[in-house]
Amino acid sequence: MNIQETDSAALKQYDVQNDPLIMAEVERLLAGRTRDIRLKGKIGRVFRNRIWSQTAKIIRAWMIWVAVLGVLTLALNFFMLPPEVTLPMLLPGSLLPPVALGVAFVWRKPRPPWLQTSVLLAGMLLILLSVALVGTSAGGEFYERHLNIMLFVAITAIIIFAIPLSLTITIAGIALGLYLVFQLHNPYLEVASIVDATLFFATGIIATIAARRTMTILAQKTFLLELRDRRRVSQLAEANARLEQLARTDPLTGIANRRWMMETLERLWSRSTEIGGGAAMLMCDIDYFKNLNDRLGHAEGDRCLIKVAGIIQSNMRRERDHVARYGGEEFLVVLPEMEEQEALCVAERIRESIEAAALPNPTIRASNCITLSIGVAVQAPGDSILPEQLQRRADAALYRAKQNGRNRVELHKLGG
């Protein structure tokens, strides 16, 4: 998994985009001054988890670089310097490689933060101490040189380690403390020179810490901007999804509307495998619906449409069949891969379900209940027919059902 994928996984794991408290904190921090950004609490933990992979990779690379450099330096000194100089260097110099590699091993995968922090600080102390002892053990010109190298090593760590400011300051304090202690024991320098050199290097390290702090704040601001952008993209996607849902849904009944059904028919017929086993269409119409509206009002008519739509929907095969409000009191049902006898059974089941619901319609003298007329048209497997033609056949069958007394199912027959 690469760094970008790890970052996305961390954000997804904590679901910060849907946490109103975190997003409120994001907006508050971005509204203020950049230099005042401080990530605390949950958002701070999310940020640390987000950058952990990159931080760990940098720390491991630095530790391996230090270990390799330490081994090469000892080897070169052994071949280029007299034995009386190199032999005192071996013991303190041999401490550095295993310590650096040990820190790299601990940072190979996520572990408890306290453990990784302790190992990093202890490792830095031993690495800097090793570099300083190599010079002080050799003495002479190596004394001052290796103390300067120690500070250089510390400064590179301060610059590239994306760790909390408190840890950065601790590493800087360790480096300056070691430098001052060893310089005070330097027989070649006076106290005034030691103080001047310490203050000089302290100024440089403080400037480095300030630069590291600025880099951290900018990284945190980038993180906050990313969170806000992700949230806005998510909100936009949700809004688009709602608009798409509204565009294809009948607002009254909650089922699909005519536009979506037409798109569905085009999609089904464009993929022959979808309708390779044939298809059936049902045109359903509520009997005497206009009389119901005129006598009981549109509110009662709307309630009737909602209940009828729900009953029809309940008789569909989940994720296979399609039902839509075609217009007014008409509903269009599409049954992929369904033969004639089965389609008639579905239509009859829908009609009986409506009749059994006993929805009141006082304008029907015979039953005083809502009834449904249904026209059925079937495309046999292998037939080549457009959806508009099948629909017209179902509509013709519905017309015949109305003529033959309503509350019935009629099948369209070719030549009939």
Examine the pLDDT at 96 and tell me if it is beyond 80.
Answer: yes
Taking phi over 0 as left and psi of -120 to 50 as alpha, with beta for the rest, 297 belongs to left
Q: Do 70 and 29 share a structural domain?
A: yes
Residue 49 amino acid letter: N
Do the Cβ atoms of 394 and 282 come closer than 8 Å? Answer: yes
Highest-pLDDT range among 30-44, 150-164, 262-276: 150-164
Strand order in the sheet with 322-327: 256-257, 322-327, 330-336, 279-286, 372-379, 409-411
Provide mean pLDDT across the span 62-76: 93
Higher pLDDT pick, 175 / 238: 175
| Alpha-carbon separation of residue 194 from 134, 239, 288 (angstroms) | 19, 67, 105
Q: Do 181 and 89 share a structural domain?
A: yes
- 250 domain-assigned: no
Do the Cβ atoms of 107 and 120 come closer than 8 Å? Answer: yes
Provide mean pLDDT across the span 127-149: 91
Query: Is residue 230 classed as helix, strand or coil in its secondary structure?
Result: helix
Q: What is the pLDDT of residue 117?
A: 94
Q: Do 104 and 12 share a structural domain?
A: yes
Residue 153 amino acid letter: V
Provide mean pLDDT across the span 135-147: 89
- 244 domain-assigned: no
Q: What is the pLDDT of residue 215?
A: 92
| Assigned token pair, 10 | 């961390």
Residue 278: which pLDDT band, with cuts at 50, 70 and 90? confident
Q: Do 32 and 101 share a structural domain?
A: yes
- Radius of gyration for the chain, computed over Cα atoms and rounded to the nearest angstrom: 40
- 240 domain-assigned: no
Q: Do 268 and 221 share a structural domain?
A: no
Examine the pLDDT at 7 and tell me if it is beyond 50.
Answer: no
Examine the pLDDT at 11 and tell me if it is beyond 80.
Answer: no
Q: What is the pLDDT of residue 324?
A: 93
- 249 domain-assigned: no
- What's the gap between Cα 179 and its chain centre? 47
- Residues annotated as catalytic are 329
Q: Do 302 and 197 share a structural domain?
A: no
Examine the pLDDT at 247 and tell me if it is beyond 50.
Answer: yes
Q: What is the pLDDT of residue 10?
A: 45
Instruction: Name the residue range of residue 113's domain.
Output: 3-232
Examine the pLDDT at 8 and tell me if it is beyond 80.
Answer: no
Rounded to an integer, what distance in angstroms lies between the CA atom of residue 143 and that of residue 132? Answer: 8
Q: What is the pLDDT of residue 277?
A: 61
User: Which of 197, 232, 267 is the endpoint of a domain?
Assistant: 232
Tracing tokens 């996520």 back to the chain, one arrives at 110
How many CA atoms lie within 13 Å of 178's alpha carbon, on the beta-carbon side? 28
| Alpha-carbon separation of residue 396 from 25, 35, 243, 262, 415 (angstroms) | 63, 75, 35, 19, 12
Rounded to an integer, what distance in angstroms lies between the CA atom of residue 378 and that of residue 383? Answer: 10
- 247 domain-assigned: no
- 150 domain-assigned: yes
Domain CATH for 376: 3.30.70.270
Do the Cβ atoms of 403 and 384 come closer than 8 Å? Answer: no
- 134 domain-assigned: yes
Which neighbouring-strand residues pair with 29? none
- 239 domain-assigned: no
Do the Cβ atoms of 172 and 205 come closer than 8 Å? Answer: yes
Residue 9: which pLDDT band, with cuts at 50, 70 and 90? very low
| Assigned token pair, 109 | 């995968």
Strand ranges inside 238-389, DSSP E: 256-257, 279-286, 322-327, 330-336, 372-379
Higher pLDDT pick, 119 / 361: 119
Q: What is the pLDDT of residue 16?
A: 66
Q: Do 361 and 214 share a structural domain?
A: no
Examine the pLDDT at 384 and tell me if it is beyond 80.
Answer: no
- pLDDT digit string (tens) for 316-350? 987 789 999 998 899 999 998 888 999 999 999 99
Rounded to an integer, what distance in angstroms lies between the CA atom of residue 338 and that of residue 406? Answer: 24
Residue 39 amino acid letter: L
Q: What is the pLDDT of residue 243?
A: 83
Residue 186: which pLDDT band, with cuts at 50, 70 and 90? confident
Q: Do 186 and 94 share a structural domain?
A: yes
Q: Do 365 and 220 share a structural domain?
A: no
The mean pLDDT of the chain is 88
Provide mean pLDDT across the span 241-264: 86
For the chain, percent of residues with pLDDT exceeding 70: 93
Q: Do 172 and 88 share a structural domain?
A: yes
Examine the pLDDT at 12 and tell me if it is beyond 60.
Answer: no
Tracing tokens 């190979």 back to the chain, one arrives at 108
* Overall size of the chain counted in residues: 416
Q: Considering its fold, how many domains does the chain have in total?
A: 2
Query: Is residue 253 classed as helix, strand or coil in its secondary structure?
Result: coil
User: Which of 232, 264, 296 is the endpoint of a domain?
Assistant: 232
Q: Do 225 and 263 share a structural domain?
A: no
Q: Do 349 and 207 share a structural domain?
A: no
pTM: 0.62
Rounded to an integer, what distance in angstroms lies between the CA atom of residue 96 and that of residue 86? Answer: 16
